[in-house]
Amino acid sequence: MTTALPPARQTRRKRRITVAAAADFPPGSRVEVQAGRAVIAVFNVEGEYFALHGRCPHQSAPLSRGRLQGTVICNAATCWETEWAFDGEILVCPGHGMEYHVRSGKAIGYDLQLRTYEVVVEDGHVMLLL
Ligand code: FES
């Protein structure tokens, strides 16, 4: 009889990259991190940290320079009425204005998903887990 091994993902320890000291990364700020060949944009949104692929898939604008705001939605959940939503959580690409939900990496109005990364705070430092 053979015993199944746990999936490799569950046993592999993730690589940690220090983004900044938490004291130097206040709400409303952002940092761009180079991790190997990957560029990652890390945001502090009212004390919660989010990390996304740092380049817009449209024409590679640096997403760490985008502003955070809300957006207007209109769908079945709003009974097709326009409604302001996700205030402070919508990242606007500085290139041509595509919008991404910073929590999920999903583009607003497009079937597009930015890669997201796990962020933790350890010993007073904001760390990316890759
Ligand atoms: S580069 Fe982001 S929308 Fe064009």
- Domain boundary assignment for the chain: 14-129
User: Does residue 56 line the site of ligand 1, with CB under 6 A?
Assistant: yes
Q: What is the 3-state secondary structure (H, E, C) of 52-98?
A: EECECCCCCCEHHHCEEEEEEECCHHHCCCCEEEEEEEEEECCCCCC
* Residue owning the nearest CA to atom 3 of ligand 1: 96
Q: What is the pTM of this model?
A: 0.87
- Check residue 91 and give its pLDDT: 98
Give pLDDT < 50 ranges for the chain.
none
Domain 14-129 in CATH 2.102.10.10: yes
Return the percent helix, strand and coil in the chain, to nearest 5. Answer: 10, 50, 40
User: Does residue 63 line the site of ligand 1, with CB under 6 A?
Assistant: no
What is the Å distance from ligand 1's center to 95 Cα? 4
- Check residue 123 and give its pLDDT: 97
